[in-house]
Amino acid sequence: MELKNYTYLGLLIFSIFFPLILSFDKKVAFYKNWIYLFPAIFITAIPFLIWDVKFTEAGIWSFNHDYTMGIDYKGLPVEEWLFFLIIPYACMFIYDVLKAYFQNFSYPNFFVALSLVFIAGFALIAYLFRDKAYTFLNYLFSAIFLTYIIFRNQFKQHLSHFYLAYFVSLIPFLLINGVLTYLPVVEYNPQQNLQLFFISIPVEDFTYLFLLLLMNAGIYEALRSRKFY
């Protein structure tokens, strides 16, 4: 194997390195919430991995093995399986850090209103582009889950920090996903998305991250508030 075959793995290690080391910061003490975090990550990973496997089989996206170790399972590189552990961990670390250091950042009514705008926008995009699989399902799932969070889930008190964490997470996202899509490590079928890009990143990926973080945060807070174990 050549050095470039470790590109995807290297990006994942870079993503997790500082969040993992800083998980033991006394103010945040993120490690104390692992008991709620890892179930949230694993539960969220199930639908995302099914989605990933099916889309790969259908040729909606694919992986360039020049930048992976060549170890696949169900058609996905082992790095892609690790992605759904490492990236949610890093994003949820950001979420908890922001909750610890910006405790007074709370504008629930504003972010509920923003969420309603997003729901309408996501639903409209899904309807208008229902012939494009990535666009359609990405925005449809996001609209459905955000609707559930707003109307059926006790998440309103956490909504401000969720949005703050999402926007902060866009900074490392632009770096990591920028590399993945620029090389590219991940290649997209142009017929199945809008072909609108921020640099090399499809606009759908921003909503994909939104949904991934929202599901993790929603389940994480539900487990933490109910303290089932």
pLDDT at 225: 84
Burial class (CB within 10 angstroms; exposed 0-12, middle 13-18, buried 19+) of 228: exposed
CA-closest candidate to residue 133, choices 214, 54, 47:
54
Per-residue pLDDT tens digits for 142-189: 999 999 999 887 898 999 999 999 999 999 999 999 999 999 999 999
Give the pLDDT mean for 37-57. Answer: 97
Q: What value does the mean pLDDT of the chain take?
A: 95
Per-residue pLDDT tens digits for 76-105: 999 999 999 999 999 999 999 999 999 999
Q: Locate all alpha helices (DSSP H) within the chain, ordered by sequence.
A: 7-21, 34-58, 78-101, 108-128, 133-151, 159-182, 203-226
CA-closest candidate to residue 86, choices 18, 156, 152, 186:
18
Q: Is the pLDDT of residue 72 over 80?
A: yes
Concatenating the DSSP letter of every residue in 119-185 gives HHHHHHHHHHTTTSHHHHHHHHHHHHHHHHHHHTSS-GGGHHHHHHHHHHHHHHHHHHHHHHHHTTS
Domain boundaries, position 118: 3-226
- State how many domains the chain has: 1
Task: Extract the tokens encoding 52.
Answer: 């990933």
Could you tell me if 41 and 89 are in contact, meaning their C-beta atoms sit under 8 angstroms apart?
Answer: yes
